[in-house]
Structure 1
Amino acid sequence: MKKSVSNFVFLTTLILGSLISISSNNWMGAWMGLEINLLSFIPLMNNLKNSMSTEASLKYFLVQALASAILLFSVVIMSLFNNIFMNLLNNIDLFNFLMNSSLFMKMGVAPFHFWFPEVIEGMNWMISIILMTWQKLAPMILLSYCISFFYLNFIILFSIFIGSMGGLNQISLRKIMAYSSINHMGWMLSSFLISNYYWLIYFLIYCFLSISVIFNFMKYNIHYLSQTFNLMKFSPILKFIIFCNFLSLGGLPPFSGFFPKWIIIQNLNNYFLITMMVCLTLITLFYYLRVTYSAFMINYSISKWSITISDSKNSLIFNFFSLFGLFFCMIFYTIF
């Protein structure tokens, strides 16, 4: 009872820290909100049943503290020397580069991704959902205030490349989801080149798809690819639906995950950038298809009386909109 109450307090403080950072009208207030968010997230990561949680929480704290120190350094220097070296700062743009780098490190975007897969490997699925969705909200909104578009193009391509190549040889589903998140971060950053409205659409759909995939993994206690074979004792259809959610997260049409990529391809004017993004994302679909091959192609012989379908209404709703939501998204996009 005490643990559940403390987790609720920490979770509430985490949300408030992000909201303080987003709604602040100065960089010091934004930095303070990020620190509140960090200090409330560390206790949530500690899990006595997982020996790797302590190592993961220490890695996360050190990286986030370094990113916060770089952000605070750039803010203080810019506030002290803004009037004296205005022309010099505009020409070099060094401190804007430092600000962007610190926020990229907080999000786990390549080439600052070194900590992200290792930290997720030491977490449970519930905390992984928070790290892959909510923890990216405040840094991305702050990034939209000081974004360097020349620097951004390199980060986009590098993130999609690392997210695509990093998941090729992984057997841990948590690391696969981590590299998939890095890949999606590249697409989300590219939406800043168009409009913040497209970023919001992509972020919401990405959060929904990630939650729908991880919810099934968490419900059936799946952490590695070899454990997916045990899903056949529940239902072959269930296994098929779970891996279709995988393909939806990868952006394969006609699933819902294709919609945010489609609107970015349609509206982004940099043809070289969008061509490279699509080609690199095909590598992500390759290892998704390799993972789902057993569910789609291999036939299993199971006794009829051993098949039990155990599913809830919430899971059915998530799976339905993940697989068949492209039609509703097209109607919404056409109207608005």
Structure 2
Amino acid sequence: MPPLALLMIILGITMGTLMVTSANHWLTAWMGLELNMISIIPMIAKQKHLRSTESATKYFLTQATASAIMLFSSALNAWQTGTWDITQLNNKLSSTMMIPALAMKMGAAPAHFLLPEVLQGSTIATALLITTWQKIAPITLLYTVSNHTQSNITLPIGLLSIMVGGWGGINQTQLRKMMAYSSIAHLGWTITATSTAPNIALLNIIIYMTMSTPFFLLLMTTSSKTLQDTTTCWSHSSPSAITMTLLLLSMSGLPPLTGFTPKLLILDSLTTHKLTTLATMMALLSLLSMTFYLRTTYLLTSTAPPTTTQSMMLWRLKPHHNPTTSILTPIALFNITIMPNLLM
């Protein structure tokens, strides 16, 4: 891709997200989301094969549908209340339509079907953008309207996302599809916490982005795309294998790693609001996600010497590591010490 085109795309993605996060008017937020969507599509379709074109088309259709529902919802609210202010989503029907639209924007269930296919048809770098940066704008809007969200909509969407993310990831051998279902499951935890503790929901998605970013960067460094590729990771880069193992265990929510922090806070918030049954179901469904996390960590570590592997070695690896990985990995693994401050 030409440097000027790449610069324009990055500028469009950045400006679109900043427009949404700083907007007070629904039309401004909608324009930011559209700019964000239009900028990411060339990055998805830059590979010259049919799979990437199909992924870009699916992403465009899904995002355009969600934008249309969101625009109709905000126009209906402005018609009924006389204001386009994002924080004044007082119309019940508008609020009912806005939550599924934002869930579709993020790729949460039940509108999750296209996210794994889009990630599989993209490069690992583009998949990183879709699962992290592209979630910032809709999550910001969801956080802004959290006072007007209805729990009978957010809780089923969140629970269904956790269930779909766990079940869908078990059958995957492609790492990008597995991370897509992991993103769906973590979005389920975020959406569920929105109606009871929006600040904790925001903390949950920030921690997930902090954990998934170095994992994707390590996938790019080790040229790993499938579970079979992870079996050779220890042989040519044992520090990368250990780091990826810890990151996966953190994403699964095992203490004392970072991923345990938001899940514990969300379960505590749900129990406080007398939603113990829902909290129990979420904790049990998270075991589904833990299954494919542990399977991947087993493949990463079980091929350590003197165990032999039947897979071909991955030669011609990049000789350098991304410095971002070294910065984000300690934050993604060992900030469990912030727990007492969060509980106060």
TM-score per shorter chain, which class?
A: 0.7 to 0.9
- Please show how residues 140-155 of structure 1 align to structure 2 within 5 Å: 140-144=139-143, 145=145, 146-155=148-157
> Cα deviations across residues 116-144 of structure 1 (Å, max 9, x unaligned)?
11111111111111111111111122123
1:100 alignment partner, SS class: helix
Aligned partners of 1:152 and 1:111: how far apart in 2? 12
Aligned partners of 2:329 and 2:50: how far apart in 1? 32
Aligned partners of 2:26 and 2:190: how far apart in 1? 23
Distance 1:31 1:245, change over 3 A: same
Is 1:69 aligned to residue 68 of structure 2? yes
- The match for 2:298 is 293
Aligned partners of 2:200 and 2:258: how far apart in 1? 15
- Please show how residues 215-226 of structure 1 align to structure 2 within 5 Å: 215-226=217-228
Conserved 8 A contact 2:166-2:289: yes
Aligned partners of 1:28 and 1:323: how far apart in 2? 39
2:256 alignment partner, SS class: coil
1:109 alignment partner, SS class: coil
Match of 2:168 among 166, 179, 187: 166
How far has the Cα of 1:194 moved from its partner?
3.3
Is 1:330 aligned to residue 328 of structure 2? no
How far has the Cα of 1:190 moved from its partner?
2.4
Aligned partners of 1:30 and 1:96: how far apart in 2? 16
Output the amino acid matched with 1:319.
T
Aligned partners of 1:22 and 1:92: how far apart in 2? 22
- The match for 1:228 is 230
- The match for 1:249 is 251
Aligned partners of 2:49 and 2:257: how far apart in 1? 35
Name the % identity.
35
- The match for 1:272 is 277
Aligned partners of 1:91 and 1:57: how far apart in 2? 35
Matched positions, count = 325
Distance 1:220 1:297, change over 3 A: closer
Aligned partners of 2:50 and 2:222: how far apart in 1? 21
Gaps of 5+ in 2: 83-88, 309-314
Aligned partners of 2:37 and 2:74: how far apart in 1? 19
> Cα deviations across residues 26-47 of structure 1 (Å, max 9, x unaligned)?
2122111111111111122222
> Cα deviations across residues 228-274 of structure 1 (Å, max 9, x unaligned)?
12213314453233122111111111211111112222333221111
Output the amino acid matched with 2:277.
F
Aligned partners of 2:32 and 2:299: how far apart in 1? 45
Is 1:320 aligned to residue 330 of structure 2? yes
Output the amino acid matched with 2:287.
L
Aligned partners of 2:77 and 2:333: how far apart in 1? 48
2:170 alignment partner, SS class: coil
Distance 1:309 1:58, change over 3 A: closer
Distance 1:331 1:8, change over 3 A: farther
Task: State the Cα RMSD in Å.
Answer: 2.8
Aligned partners of 1:156 and 1:267: how far apart in 2? 15
How far has the Cα of 1:112 moved from its partner?
0.9
How far has the Cα of 1:311 moved from its partner?
6.2
Output the amino acid matched with 1:323.
L
Gaps of 5+ in 1: 84-89
> Cα deviations across residues 119-170 of structure 1 (Å, max 9, x unaligned)?
1111111111111111111112212314222211111110100011111110
- The match for 2:130 is 131
Conserved 8 A contact 2:165-2:183: yes
Distance 1:191 1:311, change over 3 A: farther
Output the amino acid matched with 2:278.
L
- The match for 2:194 is 192
Output the amino acid matched with 1:119.
V
Conserved 8 A contact 1:235-1:309: no
- The match for 2:180 is 178
Output the amino acid matched with 1:207.
M
Aligned partners of 1:22 and 1:235: how far apart in 2? 39
Aligned partners of 2:115 and 2:29: how far apart in 1? 22
